[in-house]
Chain A
C-alpha cells in the first residue's frame, strides 16, 4: 500500500486499523458458516473440534433415515408449490405496478412488501386461527399458502427492479406490429425480465425452504420439514446429522449465490445497462 506523501502517521495508523477491523468483521460473518463444514464429516458423534477421523456416516443418516428423508421431501414440495404461486402472482402484479401513474400504487406496494417485515410468529398465529376454521391447519396446503405470501415481496421487488429501465416503447412496437397483448408480454417483455423473475423465484424458494415458525404452528406430525427437523434436533437431542444437513444447506446457499450473480449480470446485459 502506498500513501500520498502528505499522509500523517495518524492517518496511516487509522488506515491499517480500518483494514484490521474490517478483516475481523468479515471473519465474524463467514467463520460460523464455515465452521460447520468439517464437523459434518466428523466420525464421532460430537459437536466440537478437533475432528480426529473423517467419515460420511452423518450423510448416510441424513439420506437414509426415513424421518429426515420425509422432511427433505416435504421441504422441497412446499418450497416448489409456494414458489410457483408467489412467482406467478408476483410477476403479474409487478408488471401491473410498473404502470406510470397508478392511484394507490404506494399503498399497494407497501402492502405487498409487508410480509417481509411482519413478525412471522404473528402471521403464523393468525394463519393457525384462520386456517383452523377453514379446516386446512395441520395440512401442507396451509403451510404452502403462508410460505407463498412470505415469498411474494421478493418476487415483487426483484421483478419491479428489472422492469425499471424497461423500454415500454418495445411493447408498443410489438403491439403496433400486430401482436396481441399476451403475445407482446410473452415474446417481448418476458425474455427481458426473466432474470428478475427467476431471481425472485429463487428468493421465494429459499425463504420457504428455510422457514420453520409457520411449520411449527401449521404443521401436524406428518408435516416435518428440514428446518423443523433441525429445530427439533437442536432443542432435544444434538445429533451431528443436523451438521450434515447444515452442510447441505451451505452448499445450497453457495449455489444460490452463484446463480443469482449470474442472473444479475445477465439482466444487466439484457437491459443494455452498463455496470
Chain B
C-alpha cells in the first residue's frame, strides 16, 4: 500500500518524536522520584518546620479557646474560666508526658517560663477542683501577671513567623508588639555578616591565588601543565577531614609554620595561627582553591594567544593588552569559579568548627547548634531557610553564567 502523503509522513515523524521524548522522560523518572523523596521532601520539611509550630495549640487547646472567649486585652490577667481550662489542659499534658515540651517551647520565647510552667505541672495532681487562679499563683506568682499569658497568646496559631523574627533578631513581645531582641540574644545579624565576610575573604583569596596559577598553567606546555595539574587535583580529591587535620598540624602552636619561623629567628614566640579567623580563611581557601583554578584554567586554555599579540602589535602596552583584551575573555571562568567558591563557602560547617574559635563560627554551625544543643528546631529551620534562599539565588546566577559562558568544572 502506498499512502506516503506528506501529511502522513509528518504525523508519523511527530509520533516518533513524541515517543522519543516519552522514553527520555521515562529514563529520567526513577532518579527524579528518588531525588524528590530523599532531597526535595527533606528540604521541604525544613521550610515547613520554619513556619509550623503546633506545640502550644496542640498542648493547650482549651486554654487558647477560653482566652479567645474571654477576649480581654493583654494588659490584664485572664479570669477564672481560663485558669480552669489551663488546669484541664495541664492534667492531660502531664498524663501524656507533653508538659516538658510545652514548657520548653514557652522558654524559647521567654527565658524562665520553663520553671514557671513546670512548677504548676508538678503540682497539678494535688488538686481536684477549683478555684484554679489561686492554685496557679501559689505555684508561681508569674501566673498572676499578664506576661506569660501574652507569650501563650503569641503562640496560639500553629502557623506563625516567630522563628523568622528570631532569626532576624526581632521578637514578638508579651504585649504583642514586635521589637528588637534583647541585647544578649541579638546574635544572628552578626552571624550573617560574619558568614558573608568569611565567604568573601575566601573568595577573594581564591581569585588572588587561583588566577595567577591558572594563567601560568594555561601557558605551559601540555605535558608540564598536566603534570602540575595533579598537584591541584590531589588536594581536591583528598578527604576534607584530612586537609583540615593537616592544617591543625601545620598551624598549631608547635606546628610546622611556627617551628620554621622560630628556627629562622623571625619570631620569638609562636604566633596564634589557628582557632581564629586567620586559620579558618587559610584552611577554607586551601579546600576551595581548586574550584577557582579548574574553571579558570579550562577557559584560559581556550583563549587564542593571537588576540593579545594583535593588541600588542597595534601598540597596546602589555598591561593594557592584558586588561582590555585578555581579562575580558577570562570573565566567564572567573565569575563561575568565584561564584561557586562563594556559594560553597557560605554553607561551610566542618572546617570552621575544627580550625576556628568561638567567634569564627558561621551560620551552618548555629543551625547545627540549634538542632543538637539548644533544641530550637524552629529557629534552626528558619536559619536554614534563609541560607537556602541565599544559596538558591546565587545558584540561579551561576546557572546563567555557566550556560552563557559554557564553563565546565573538572
Contact residues of A with B, CB < 8 Å? Answer: 11, 18-19, 21-22, 25-26, 28-33, 35-36, 39, 47-49, 85, 89-90, 92-93, 95-99, 102-103, 106, 108, 110-112, 114-115, 117-123, 125-131, 133, 145-146, 148-149, 152, 156-157, 161, 181, 206, 209-210, 212-213, 216-217, 227, 230-231, 234-235, 238, 242-243, 246, 249-250, 252-254, 256-257, 275
Contact = CB atoms under 8 A, between A and B. Distances in A.
Contacts of B37: 145
Contact of A39 (B215, B249, B259): B249
Given A32-B250, A115-B39, A119-B387, A230 B245 contact: yes
Nearest to A103: B21
B31 A152 contact: yes
Interface in B20-52: 20-21, 23-28, 30-32, 34-35, 37-39, 41-46, 49
B368 A121 contact: yes
A93 B286 contact: no
A126 B43 contact: yes
B292 to A, nearest CB: 11
A131 B215 CA distance: 47
Contacts of B68: none
Contacts of A103: 21
Interface of B: 20-21, 23-28, 30-32, 34-35, 37-39, 41-46, 49, 209, 212-213, 215-217, 222, 228, 230-235, 237-250, 252, 254-256, 259, 286, 289-290, 318, 340, 343-344, 346-347, 349-350, 353-354, 364, 367-368, 371, 377, 380-381, 384, 387-388, 391, 395, 398-399, 403, 408, 410
Contacts of A89: 30-31, 34
Given A117-B343, A246-B245, A99 B235 contact: no
A93 B238 contact: no
B245 A145 contact: no
Nearest to B377: A129
Nearest to B219: A18
Given A93-B31, A235-B354, A130 B242 contact: no
Given A22-B213, A35-B246, A253-B237, A108 B32 contact: yes
A47 B252 contact: yes
B42 A93 contact: no
Given A21-B212, A32-B243, A96-B24, A106 B31 contact: no
Given A26-B231, A93-B27, A246-B239, A129 B46 contact: yes
Given A29-B286, A117-B395, A129 B45 contact: yes
A249 B367 CA distance: 29
B212 to A, nearest CB: 6
A114 B396 CA distance: 10
Nearest to A252: B239
Given A32-B286, A114-B395, A250-B238, A119 B209 contact: no
Given A119-B346, A146-B38, A230 B44 contact: no
A267 to B, nearest CB: 13
Given A130-B45, A217-B371, A120 B349 contact: yes
B97 to A, nearest CB: 18
A256 B235 CA distance: 12
Given A33-B243, A118-B43, A121-B364, A257 B35 contact: no
B231 A129 contact: no
Contacts of B21: 99, 102-103
Given A35-B250, A152-B31, A217-B371, A122 B241 contact: no
A250 B234 CA distance: 8
B322 to A, nearest CB: 11
29 contacts: A21-B212, A30-B234, A33-B235, A33-B243, A33-B246, A35-B246, A48-B252, A48-B256, A92-B27, A96-B25, A99-B23, A102-B25, A108-B32, A114-B39, A121-B384, A121-B387, A126-B42, A126-B44, A128-B371, A129-B46, A129-B381, A146-B38, A148-B34, A206-B237, A210-B240, A210-B241, A213-B349, A230-B242, A275-B222
A212 B241 contact: yes
7 shortest A-B CB distances, which residue pairs? A119-B347, A96-B27, A126-B42, A99-B24, A32-B246, A93-B31, A89-B31
A130 B43 CA distance: 9
Nearest to B386: A122
Given A28-B286, A125-B368, 9 more contacts: A28-B209, A33-B243, A85-B34, A120-B349, A121-B384, A122-B364, A152-B34, A234-B244, A242-B245
B28 A96 contact: yes
B237 A257 contact: yes
A156 B35 CA distance: 13
Contact of B245 (A36, A121, A206): A36
B234 A33 contact: yes
B45 A126 contact: yes
